[in-house]
Every structure is written in C-alpha cells, then in structure tokens.
Structure 1
Amino acid sequence: MNAHTSFRATDFSATMRQRQWADASPQAMLCRRVIDETHDVKTFVFSAASDRMFCFNAGQYVVLHLMIGGAAVTRCYSVSSPPTRPLDLHITVKRTPGGLVSNWLHENLRSGDEIMTEGPLGSFKFDGSPNQKPLFLGGGSGITPLMSMLRTLTDRASDLDVRLIYCVRSPRDLIFRSELDALAARFPNLGVTCICSRKDSSWAGRTGRVDGPMLLRLVPDLGERTVYACGPEQYMKTLRDGLGEAGVHTRGYHEESFGGDRGGVAPDLESAVLSSVHFARSGLEHCCAPGETLLEAARNCGVYVPTGCQQGICGTCRVAKLSGEVAADDLGGLTPEEKSAGFVLACCSRARGAVLLDL
C-alpha cells in the first residue's frame, strides 16, 4: 500500500467516525416508518436527523424524551434492529393498558415526526465471541434486544450454535413470528422454540412455564451455554430459579428485565426527615422530605439526572455516591461491580443521613 492510499483510508475512517451516532447526549431522530407487528405491538423505524449512522452494541437501549400533555416524560426502549444495519434504528413497543408512553407512541407517533433520544446505553451487550454457544431466552416483548442480537448473528452468517426460546401468553402475542420462522429455515445452526404459557386451540406448539426441567429438555447442553435473557420481572424470577435448579453458573448469565413493581417498599421516614443530599460539582445542598428519592432531590435543586424507567431497572439514572448511606430498592439496574464502585440509582435510592453525590 502506498502513502497516498494509506492517507485516503485513514481519512475515510475519520469521516466514518464523525458520522457515527454513538454518544449518550440527547439527539434528534426522525421517524421513517411504523410497522404493525401484532395486535398491540408496533415497530418504529428511525433515522438520525443529523444524517449520522447508528453505532451501538446489540442488546443496548435508547431513552426517548417526549412531551405528553405538556409534561416532559422519558422512557427506555431496547433497540430491536442490529448494529450491522447502521442507517436506521428500530424500537419495538408493546402497548400496555394504562401505559402513558406506549399508548402515546401507538396513537401519535407517525412517519415524519421528530423526537429527542439519548443513547446508546446499557450494559446488556452481545459481543459475538467465537467461543460462545448463545442461548437467548425471551419473555413477551423481552424479545426486542434479543432480536437485535439474533439479527446481528444472521447478518454476519455466523456459524455459532444458537438457540432461542421465546415464551408468550398466546400465539397472537408472538412478535417477529414470520421472521423467526424464516431465519430458522435459512440457518441450520439456529434453533427457535416458541412457547405459549396458556393453552390455545390454535396452537400446536409447546405450552407451559419455562422452568428448569423444561430448559434441560429443550437444551440438554444448557451448562455449556452463554445465556442472554430478557423479559418481565416475574418471568425473569422464574427463569433465574429454573437456571439455578439446572446448575447454570452466573458467570455465563446475562439479563435485562423490565416492568414489575418495587413491592411498595416503605421509606424509613424518620431517617428521611433528617437526611440531606449534597451535590459536589453543583455546589448545592438539599434537605430531603420524608420518602424523597435522590432523583426527586436533584430535580428540586435543578440538577439534571438522565432517567428512563424510574423503577430501578434500566440503570440510566446511575450516579456516583462519594460518601454517605442510602436505602435502595432497585430491580437489578446496577451490576455488582457498579455497586462496589459506589454507584447508586437516583430513582429508587433515598438518603440516610448526609449523602454526597458526584453531580
């Protein structure tokens, strides 16, 4: 390769990096298309309004910033498209009864609309290691980040031994059903099993709960697999119990959960009255009201903290705690390593005494 060719290659790489949408600052996205997947699920196809390409890891999510009824609202949605197709980005949204954002998106977001997003974010990632035997376990709309992973592998014509077990309530709830059938037919190294938790006269496939015995029947080499799981919290709990019964080691297990309830954990009101939050970089101090979260304290002081699910799941509101103690009731939004490093989730943590945050 001569010097001129080398310069052109370097120049091209620099241009590509400039065009990549890969940082977590808010950016505009343009809705290009809306696809009806099932009776209550739609896929929204976006391009970057800045004419950039999307750069992310399969499994990650974006945070949507919306104005609904005059109020600012944020929500996290996993990316369902693969990073191998960088010109557009898909999110697949299930409409939930009473769901503010999912209902708004289904009823209002149309081709040509522009919204603000943050991303890519999240530590639930698939690296495609050649030594892996991936097992994807999805419950309901938890198939979305797994679909990004699966599409990445098939786009690359990977020869990895891949299994997907996808559980829904009924046949009408199967998202991407025709695509999954087509991929399984095209790639002999991909095994797809769909399971309905409820019996249905129109369903000839498997039914029941995905527990330990079922997993071992479907995947005899379960202990050799690297597991990527995503779904509602109750599904995830059953799954974790089943994998534990089957002897799967936690080092080969990766999960992303969503939904659920923090269980109505009552704050320690006495300590809350005597608590305060100090914001190191902002130089501000806030005396906490009973039950007030760190996120609420930050908002009351005008300190910006990015948020997503506000249930302790997504990890978007992760902040570094420099000193002090907090009471937290998160649902798995922090890894053990992040907790050891002093990070807390602002949406579901409450100060116990004086707390110093790196904000």
Structure 2
Amino acid sequence: MMNAYAAFAASGFAPTKLHREWAQTTPQLVLCRRVIDETHDVKTFVLTPASDRMFCFSAGQYVVVHLRIEGAAVTRSYSVSSPPTRPLDLQITVKRTPGGLVSNWLHDNLKPGDGIEIEGPLGSFNLDDLPHAKSLFLSGGSGITPVMSMLRAFTDRAANQDIHFIHSARTPDDIIFRLELDALATRFPNVHVTCICSHGDPAWTGPTGRINSEMLLTLVPDLHSRTIFACGPESYIKAARSCLDAIGLAPSQYHEESFGGGNISRSLSDSKVSSSVRFARSGLAYHCAPGETLLEAARQCGVYVPTACQQGVCGTCRIAKLSGEVVMDDLGGLTLEDKSAGYILACCSRPQGDILLDL
C-alpha cells in the first residue's frame, strides 16, 4: 500500500481537507520523529501519523495531548506550530514550566520513536474561520506557536499579503524561532518582524520594555486597517487588549487566544440547591454534590468530555446546555457567539438545579 509520504509526493499538489482528513473525536496515535531544541527551556516535538493519513488542520488550531503519568491520565492543549501546508508531520512547541507536570514529562521523556495520543484539531482561533486582508500577529512567550503556524502558512504559499509580526520575550535568548523569523523577514519583503525584550543585554539592539499603544502605532502605523491575531499568557493578552482598546481598534478586527489561567481565584459556587445532570444522548443521570463541576459529574458517570486546561481558558470542554442554569467561572474559553448558542464549559460550570446536556 502506498503510504502517506509517497501518496503526497505522487499527487503533485497540496491535498484538500477531504484527501487528507485525519481528525476524529477520539485520541489518535502519533509517533515522535524528532525533538528540536528551540531555546534553553523550549522544545519542538515533530509528530507523524501512525496510520497512512496526512494531518489536516487550520493554521492557529491546537491539539490535546493525552498521556499517562505515574498511572494517572492527564491531558494538555498545545497549539500546532507547524503549518497545514506541510501535512506529513505536525509540530508542537512546548515550554518547560516550573512544576509543570506535562511539559516537564514531555521534555524529559518523549524521544524519537515514542508514541503518544493526540486529539483534535480544535479551536476557532485560526485563519480559515476568521476573515483577514492585512494581518498583525502579536505574541508573547510561548504564545508564538499558533501565530507562527499562520506565518509559516502564508510564506509557504508565497502569499503577497502584508504581514507585521510583533513578538515579546523576556530576553533575547528566550525568543522562540528567532533565526527563522529573521530569515523569513529577509526572504519575504512583505513580512515585517519585530521582537521586543522586557530585559535586554548589551548586544541587543531591538526594542526593550513592554508593548504599549504608542509603540504599536509607531511599529504599525496602519494598524487600524489590519486584522490582529494575538496569543500569549493571560497577562500579555490583557495588556494587548488594553492597548488596542486605547487605540480605538474595532472589536471585529481583534482575535485572541490565551494560554493558562495561572493562580487566579474563582468565585466557586457553594450553593446548597439540590442539583442533578442528565446526559441526553447517553441517557445517564447523576446527582451532583454542592460545588461539583459538570466535568466531574460526567467523569463519575463515565461520559467522555474532551478537556485540557481545566481552567476555563482553552474551550476544549465546550458542551451544549439544553436546559437548566449553571454558574460558570470561565476565563475567556467561550466566544459571545458560543454563549448565545447555549454552550458552556464543563470544567468550570456548576449546576444550579436540574441540567440537561447534549451528551
């Protein structure tokens, strides 16, 4: 049988989604083919399908990594850093975080030849679903990964779109993909890259400090005519949003993806109201303890709900609520359209009475 590599080479063109569709609603086995050291604490893991399929996703989307660490099943969301124009492999770029269970396990254990399971692709933060004529990419730290996928997709297609890319890092040594960014800016005159370091060094000649409205307008004078794609830690996203609000950018021109919720306190519900959840499709029901989330209830019943951050940030556990009321302590994992359509996040929603879910 012709494998995926041979099929792609023989086709002579980039396959359509129909030709290379691989996504399923359950985790799929992939193999680690290569590990790339990007910085002192960031690695890229190059993954290839275990089956004869090609990866199909939109630039900006993420996958959920399923692992078993010390006997416990754990999941985490990671944006795809490679572009969909290279469907023979999929890359996730992972920063080692102090105390991070999954990031440290990946850095210390995943090596070429090993297999892991991933689920996806997922996410509405992507080039296919969001209109764009001229783009401005804003990223902070490891938030560079989805917008790097977007930039690579544009340059792979030799798109003539005017692109500004502004990345913020702690120090010059922390700039992920630094050499590639420099090379792309040199090779493509329509690509303008600026890296900003909050802490420079004697050899650093670029901007230092943190992004602000004046800096953005100086670097990108035609900012009002651009679609902005921003990604980074919650603190970075809040700063970027504040800058763009002050500039007067139309909300329709701004799209964001936030990584992690940090140690943010929540107003957890301790209601004494008797609550229960019914799962419409599976026909199961569960009586909830006070403060119990819908995700916890689903797990108690054996109902599968995909999940990753479990902090109300990533949106992976989005489910449709058919009836009932919940208290939801989300951190931006749902769009206004999602909420209007009746979607909630299982990880941070607590029932207030009887709930019916489309599961």
Query: Which residue does the alignment assign to 2:4?
Result: none
Q: Is 1:78 matched with 2:67?
A: no
Distance across 2 between alignment mates of 1:102 and 1:218: 34
Kindly provide the amino acid, as one letter, of the partner of residue 98 in structure 2. P
Q: Is 1:313 matched with 2:313?
A: yes
Kindly provide the amino acid, as one letter, of the partner of residue 241 in structure 1. S
Alignment deviations for residues 14-72 of structure 1 (CA, whole Å, 9 cap, x no partner): 99845431334321101000000000000000110002111110000011110000000
Distance across 1 between alignment mates of 2:31 and 2:340: 39
Query: Which residue does the alignment assign to 1:298?
Result: 298
Kindly provide the amino acid, as one letter, of the partner of residue 37 in structure 2. D
CA contact (8 A) 2:132 2:226 kept: no
Kindly provide the amino acid, as one letter, of the partner of residue 305 in structure 1. V
CA contact (8 A) 2:271 2:352 kept: no
Distance across 2 between alignment mates of 1:62 and 1:16: 17
TM-score (norm 1): 0.93
Query: Which residue does the alignment assign to 1:4?
Result: none
Query: Which residue does the alignment assign to 1:257?
Result: 258
Distance across 1 between alignment mates of 2:184 and 2:20: 31
CA change 1:15–1:127 in 2 (3 A) is closer
Alignment deviations for residues 219-253 of structure 1 (CA, whole Å, 9 cap, x no partner): 11111010000000000001100000011111011
Gapped regions of structure 1 (runs ≥ 5): 1-11
CA contact (8 A) 1:197 1:207 kept: yes
Distance across 1 between alignment mates of 2:71 and 2:277: 29
Q: Is 1:38 matched with 2:39?
A: yes
Distance across 1 between alignment mates of 2:311 and 2:118: 19
Query: Which residue does the alignment assign to 2:220?
Result: 219
Query: Which residue does the alignment assign to 2:9?
Result: none
1:270 Cα shift? 2.4
Query: Which residue does the alignment assign to 2:125?
Result: 124
CA change 1:240–1:15 in 2 (3 A) is closer
Distance across 2 between alignment mates of 1:266 and 1:151: 41
Task: Give the root-mean-square deviation of aligned CA atoms.
Answer: 2.0
Distance across 1 between alignment mates of 2:195 and 2:143: 13
Partner of 1:270, secondary structure, is coil
Moved over 6 A (4+): 12-16, 128-131
Range 289-298 or range 196-205, more displaced: 196-205
Query: Which residue does the alignment assign to 1:158?
Result: 159
CA contact (8 A) 1:276 1:354 kept: yes
1:97 Cα shift? 0.2
Distance across 2 between alignment mates of 1:256 and 1:76: 12
Query: Which residue does the alignment assign to 2:358?
Result: 358
TM-score (norm 2): 0.93
Matched residues, number: 348
1:199 Cα shift? 3.7
Query: Which residue does the alignment assign to 2:342?
Result: 342
Query: Which residue does the alignment assign to 1:8?
Result: none
CA contact (8 A) 1:262 1:311 kept: no
Distance across 2 between alignment mates of 1:93 and 1:253: 25
Distance across 2 between alignment mates of 1:18 and 1:82: 17
Q: Percent identity?
A: 68
Query: Which residue does the alignment assign to 1:3?
Result: none
Partner of 1:73, secondary structure, is strand
